[in-house]
Structure 1
Amino acid sequence: MLRMLTGFFSLLLLSCLASPALASDEFCPQRETILAFSDIVLADWATFAPSAPYRYGAEAAYLKIRYTPLPDEQIPVLLANLLQQNKYASVDDLAGAWYLHHFGYKAIQVSAGAKFDQTFSGIGISGIRALLLQEGGEDVLMKHFAATPFMPLNDSGQAFTVEGGIVAAAIADQPDEFKERVVQAAEAHGLNDIANSVSASETDPLAWHRFMARGGAKDNLDKLTYYANFAGAMVGHPRVKAAKTLKEERLQRIMAGAAFEPQESFLQHMRAVDREDEIAARVAERLVLSMLDKGVVRRSGTMDAAWLFEYRAAVALSGRSAIETTFDSRPYDGNRYVRTSAVFTVRNVIDRLLAVETLQPYLTGEADTIPPKPEDLSNKIDWPRWTEMAAKVRDGAVSPILAADLETFGIVTELLLAKGDQEALRAFVQQAPSGEARLSVANDFAMRLARACAAYLYHPGEAFTLNGRPIFKFDTP
């Protein structure tokens, strides 16, 4: 068991040294649709404010900035308009990251004078990254956190809601020498929690042990070890100390596998299948091995292929009955899909992914007839309606009237996206009634389509470390 585990983590570690190749946005055929949907989100959100959900706006503004050569003077106006009405933390994070990247902290320091430190109040993961990537930024950030402790994102105590985990996640893609400078700055200001997580996230597995030898063990050892295991899993490391139980070993494998998942984690739901985590750990291993073998799942892609691969692996390992029983009652609170009821589960997500995958060859003309209902599809989905809409989408007979019904609107937009008919997709969404359904689809699809281009919103380990939260990077090409 130990040899197999070591080999698994060795493969993970080697793979984490390379980033996936991304397409340049200069050759992005989805650019027009990404921008059109971003504009819908920004316009609709402004129309509904202040009653509109705060979770919209930040990603759309970011994509607009990255995919449009906006003049520098227009970006502050865009951000200011969003900040005036939106209380969502991601909007503050976006604005902070852009200002830090564009002007640099030294210019902001000159402008702010004695109030300079106040500009970092509530700094988020994107601002943290933007500051750390500047020369001397690590000392500025650690001095701030030493004087004004970071407020956790919530009271869960989870590794990536506290300052150490957030700093480590923000710079997950940086080389060890960069991370080591952050570690040393954190230690110099007495911030062992940050030094602990960042040292554990270095690709050199001995970095954490060197940190501990310098005095990190004076703090709560159990707490430091707990957080170090999470940070290490982010880059493919096994536990920093030998596991006491088989379940602990499996959990580390699951966490390391989750760091490979794009967008949202399926493995977090798999842990509900069995209490000993055996199935989830085996699914994680199959996913990683498939990705290393250049299978259909891309780390910078959407979650679709990953979730279907993992679902089928889970069914093969545990049986359909056990998986469906778990997922039928497992709530899904991610960013996907038009909701037509208060209850929306992981099973609903799998059904939609299966339906789109099954109908796509028919939509694109690769198949002449509508395929039969997939065996894995549950009775929760209205297959006759999906096939009826598929025929309309294939024939180019989509009417704006179809958008009046929320369920049909959700089905048609998914099928138009699967067909690849972006002109029809844009027109259908643009002509749909204003409301949260249109807002959510435009927001979701803009982010999905961006994954096929420069994937600016992709970040290594995202499904494991960000939990659906965005990180806005302006340093990536």
Structure 2
Amino acid sequence: MRWLAVLAVLGLVSIPPAVSAQTQPGACSYAPTILAAADFLLAEPATFPNFWRDRYGDDAAYLKIHYGNLNDTEGSALLSGLEKRSHPPLRIAELRLAYATPAERAAIIAGMQPAPNKKSVVGQLGESALRALVAEDGGTWLLGELARLQTLDPADASSAATAIAQTLTDLEADAKSRLAKRAQDAGVVTLALPLLAIKDSLADYMSYLDRLPPAALPNKDSRGQMIRKALYASALRPSFDISKQPAEVQAVYRQNDMARALQPIGQLVNHAPVAEILLTAVNQSGDLRVGTVVAAGLNARISAKQLDPVGDPDALIASMVDGLDYIFGHSGREGILVTFGVTGMQGETAEEFVDRALARVALTPFLQGIAAESPSRPAQLAATFPWELWVGLAGRLKAGGAITSEDHIVAADLMLAAGRPADALRALETASDWKTALLRSHGLAFALDRRCANLLGRPIPFSQPLYRF
């Protein structure tokens, strides 16, 4: 990947041997299905539904460039065509900036105008472009612009700095320190602090807090609040070790039960993004056992190779539901999960999302020929889940019977349970419910990419994928 080579030259990161496998995503066995999904997601409807927005074309184009091994001319033509659409993908400008060369990126930014009531274009660039401005362009323009914005609009400067730091969580500690030092030298406090806060050791963060002028911490509670804020973010990083932190940080940690609950959830989210469900569940319920019991138990099973979060995410979800039921009971768990959705899966609640996973787990032995008879209804399913429809369609699929386009959405789930992702995509491509088919196709591409190059991996929970080249 282009960004890795540039970071290595800048001394910001070393390239591990395993990365070379990621530079050829097209070699993955799932690449043809990922590319087919990308093409489906890139196709425009004959008639645009009211209020329709393209939420998937940017991710699809990103996957197509990488898995299709498009050259610069082909990639630029693809993105240019998307930009000219009447309904362009929502993040196409960000994707275009990330894909551009440093000179092209500088020219594009120079031609941009700040949004109304804004003092800079920084907030309009998108996180992928912000990362590219550091990773590929050295960060000089960005530091200067943040320094200017810090005096004109401190709130916007702080928001931009936080976004920048979040895109750089994978940099090595020394790289974060060097960039933070450059920010300090440029007087960009708003960037220096969040950069130091994403290091595995908060020693430099604390040292910088000590050196800040009194005006930067207007009241005695500010210091504690800043430490707690850094702790919450740090707790979600698997590499964070509280025992190696400064004494003041450890003292705040001991007084903060939530940070201790977040740490195992952060580790689990690193294994499987779907575990973001637990972050919302602990926030909604306030029950710290979501982290200390459920997430910690799942992490132990992953470490023991009893669960495969990449190869078999449904089994992980089913185990996660078991843990939540242990704490809240069936109805209590449902009452929590019906109140929120899952990242990237608009239109259904977390409960509906896990119900589909539970049904796939239950039907997998039957669909794969391991069990001769279809299973009985799983007790953990919501009462409203259409189990009879799923079982009936599973029997018809297994017998080679015809499936109507109205049932293709469910059929796609069943084909995934049968281990046939390419057939699942074909079912979605011909489904009568086009909107849901797009949503599920995007989810399928995301899941298959996880098994290959993980290009759509998110830097932090609930964030959007970063486009890297």
TM-score by length of 1: 0.78
What is the aligned counterpart of 1:234 among 236, 254, 258? 236
CA separation of 1:273 and 1:248: change in aligned 2, threshold 3 A: closer
Q: Measure the CA separation in 1 of the matches of 2:87 and 2:216.
A: 39
- 1:371 match: 375
- 1:358 match: 362
- 2:31 match: 31
CA separation of 1:447 and 1:114: change in aligned 2, threshold 3 A: closer
- 1:76 match: 76
Shift in Å at residue 243 of structure 1? Answer: 3.8
Shift in Å at residue 190 of structure 1? Answer: 2.6
Q: Find out whether 1:348 has 2:357 as its counterpart.
A: no
Matched ranges for 1:318-467 at <5 A: 318-327=328-337, 329-336=338-345, 339=347, 344-399=348-403, 402-403=404-405, 405=406, 408-433=407-432, 435-460=434-459, 462=460, 464=461, 467=462
- 1:5 match: none
Shift in Å at residue 259 of structure 1? Answer: 4.5
CA separation of 1:185 and 1:369: change in aligned 2, threshold 3 A: same
Matched ranges for 1:233-252 at <5 A: 233-236=235-238, 237=240, 238=242, 240=249, 242-243=252-253, 245-252=255-262
The SS at the match of 2:414 is helix
- 2:128 match: 126
Shift in Å at residue 452 of structure 1? Answer: 1.6
Shift in Å at residue 448 of structure 1? Answer: 1.8
CA contact (8 A) 2:412 2:425 kept: no
**Aligned residue type for 1:448:** A
The SS at the match of 2:227 is helix
- Deviation per CA, 1:382-414: give whole Å up to 9, x if none: 111111111122233343xx22x2xx3321111
CA contact (8 A) 1:202 1:235 kept: no
CA contact (8 A) 1:302 1:451 kept: no
CA separation of 1:176 and 1:354: change in aligned 2, threshold 3 A: same
CA separation of 1:246 and 1:146: change in aligned 2, threshold 3 A: closer
Q: Find out whether 1:275 has 2:270 as its counterpart.
A: no
- 1:315 match: 325
CA contact (8 A) 1:258 1:267 kept: no
- 1:60 match: 60
Q: Measure the CA separation in 2 of the matches of 1:254 and 1:223.
A: 22
Q: Measure the CA separation in 2 of the matches of 1:439 and 1:177.
A: 42
Shift in Å at residue 355 of structure 1? Answer: 0.2
- 2:171 match: 174
The count of corresponding residues between Structure 1 and Structure 2 is 430
Q: Measure the CA separation in 2 of the matches of 1:203 and 1:428.
A: 45
Q: Measure the CA separation in 2 of the matches of 1:217 and 1:68.
A: 54
> Which segment is superposed worse, 360-369 or 287-296?
287-296
**Aligned residue type for 1:334:** T
**Aligned residue type for 1:91:** I
Matched ranges for 1:193-212 at <5 A: 193-212=190-209
> Which segment is superposed worse, 442-451 or 222-231?
222-231
CA separation of 1:123 and 1:78: change in aligned 2, threshold 3 A: same
**Aligned residue type for 2:414:** L
- Deviation per CA, 1:57-77: give whole Å up to 9, x if none: 111111111100223212122
CA separation of 1:42 and 1:224: change in aligned 2, threshold 3 A: same
Shift in Å at residue 45 of structure 1? Answer: 5.4
Q: Measure the CA separation in 2 of the matches of 1:357 and 1:451.
A: 19
Q: Measure the CA separation in 2 of the matches of 1:97 and 1:362.
A: 45
- 1:165 match: 162
- 2:8 match: none
CA contact (8 A) 2:237 2:263 kept: no
Matched ranges for 1:150-161 at <5 A: none
**Aligned residue type for 1:76:** S
Q: Which runs of 5+ in 1 are unaligned?
A: 1-16
CA contact (8 A) 2:278 2:290 kept: no
Q: Which runs of 5+ in 2 are unaligned?
A: 1-15, 114-119, 218-222
Q: Answer 1 or 2: higher relative contact order, Cα 8 Å, separation at least 6.
A: 1
Q: Measure the CA separation in 1 of the matches of 2:265 and 2:142.
A: 28
**Aligned residue type for 2:365:** P
- 1:142 match: 143
CA contact (8 A) 1:97 1:127 kept: yes
CA contact (8 A) 1:41 1:57 kept: yes
CA separation of 1:290 and 1:125: change in aligned 2, threshold 3 A: farther
- 2:5 match: none
- Deviation per CA, 1:359-392: give whole Å up to 9, x if none: 1121112222211211212212111111111112
Q: Measure the CA separation in 2 of the matches of 1:319 and 1:114.
A: 57
Superposition RMSD on alpha carbons, in Å?
Answer: 3.6
Shift in Å at residue 219 of structure 1? Answer: 2.0
Q: Find out whether 1:42 has 2:53 as its counterpart.
A: no
Shift in Å at residue 296 of structure 1? Answer: 1.7
**Aligned residue type for 1:33:** T
- 2:272 match: 262
> Which segment is superposed worse, 61-70 or 111-120?
111-120
CA contact (8 A) 2:262 2:279 kept: no
Shift in Å at residue 353 of structure 1? Answer: 0.8
Shift in Å at residue 261 of structure 1? Answer: 5.1
Q: Measure the CA separation in 1 of the matches of 2:25 and 2:175.
A: 28
The SS at the match of 1:162 is helix
Q: Measure the CA separation in 2 of the matches of 1:246 and 1:308.
A: 30
TM-score by length of 2: 0.79
Percentage of matched positions with identical amino acids: 22
CA separation of 1:244 and 1:29: change in aligned 2, threshold 3 A: closer
